[in-house]
């Protein structure tokens, strides 16, 4: 039994090492629209359950590596991203890294689903004295889309904030909950 398991383990490792050598790697440019919603919940204040909607944009280079025949791949991007509104508008660098599964619909089209972490590094200071920006935030991406003509990708993505987006000075984090969740509509061109 040990010999069978050892042989199976070696075979799986050999296949895993051989597949990335045949992976298709593409570079491209990705851009689109951010539709953000800020949820504020501050206990015992007038700001309890206030919601704000806003729009912004994102743009930057991306890379995609896909294993042929299986349809599983990874994509990542480094994008300038703007989200939020007014004095709380965030401008920063966004790094989404997604595991992507594609299903081909012939030679010219495919649909995909994607999920993974999203890292956001804020570059702009907030102009309100009582609010302190978070320099870095982590979120979770869930998305889907279509690939057309081997070069275009159109996608819809939702980012769940995994922590508060801002800190309020003078209040403990137990009293304050604020999350900037974002819908993204994207268009990518792969070279």
**Is 89 among the domain residues?**
yes
SS3 assignment, position 4: helix
Is the pLDDT higher at 19 or at 26? 26
pLDDT in tens, 72-125: 999 999 999 998 777 678 899 999 999 999 998 877 899 999 999 999 998 876
> Residue 61: pLDDT above 60?
yes
**Is 185 among the domain residues?**
yes
Number of domains in the chain: 1
pLDDT in tens, 127-165: 666 677 778 899 999 999 999 998 999 999 999 988 877
Q: What is the pLDDT of residue 88?
A: 73
Q: Which of 15-19, 48-52, 93-97 has the highest mean pLDDT?
A: 93-97
pLDDT band, very low/low/confident/very high, at 5 (cuts 50, 70, 90): very low
Q: What is the pLDDT of residue 176?
A: 67
Q: Which of 90, 86, 85 is nearest to 54 (CA)?
A: 85
**Is 141 among the domain residues?**
yes
**Is 7 among the domain residues?**
no
Q: Are 126 and 132 in contact (CB under 8 A)?
A: yes
Instruction: Enter the pTM of the model.
Output: 0.78
In angstroms, rounded to a whole number, what is the distance separating the alpha carbons of residues 34 and 123? 17
pLDDT in tens, 20-44: 556 789 999 999 999 998 776 666 5
78: domain CATH number is 2.40.160.20
Which residue's structure tokens are 């984090």?
173
**Is 1 among the domain residues?**
no
In angstroms, rounded to a whole number, what is the distance separating the alpha carbons of residues 88 and 99? 31
Domain range holding 159?
Answer: 23-190
Which residue's structure tokens are 């050892």?
6
**Is 124 among the domain residues?**
yes
Q: Are 113 and 100 in contact (CB under 8 A)?
A: yes
**Is 46 among the domain residues?**
yes
Q: What is the pLDDT of residue 41?
A: 67
**Is 16 among the domain residues?**
no
Mean pLDDT of 3-24: 56
In angstroms, rounded to a whole number, what is the distance separating the alpha carbons of residues 157 and 39? 19
């Amino acid at each position: 039994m040990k010999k069978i398991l050892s042989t199976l383990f070696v075979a799986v490792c050999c296949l895993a090492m051989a597949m990335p050598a045949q992976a298709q790697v593409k570079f491209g440019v990705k851009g689109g629209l951010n539709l953000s919603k800020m949820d504020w919940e501050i206990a015992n204040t007038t700001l309890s359950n206030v919601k704000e909607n806003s729009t912004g944009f994102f743009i930057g280079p991306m890379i995609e590596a896909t294993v042929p025949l299986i349809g599983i791949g990874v994509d990542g991007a480094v994008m300038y991203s703007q989200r939020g509104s007014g004095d709380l508008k965030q401008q920063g660098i966004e790094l989404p890294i997604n595991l992507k599964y594609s299903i081909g619909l012939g030679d010219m089209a495919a649909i995909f689903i994607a999920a993974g972490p999203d890292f956001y590094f804020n570059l702009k200071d907030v102009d309100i004295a009582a609010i302190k920006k978070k320099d870095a935030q982590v979120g979770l991406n869930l998305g889907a889309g279509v690939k057309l003509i081997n070069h275009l990708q159109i996608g819809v993505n939702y980012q769940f904030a995994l922590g508060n987006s801002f800190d309020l000075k003078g209040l403990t984090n137990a009293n304050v909950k604020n999350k900037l969740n974002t819908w993204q509509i994207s268009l990518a061109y792969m070279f």
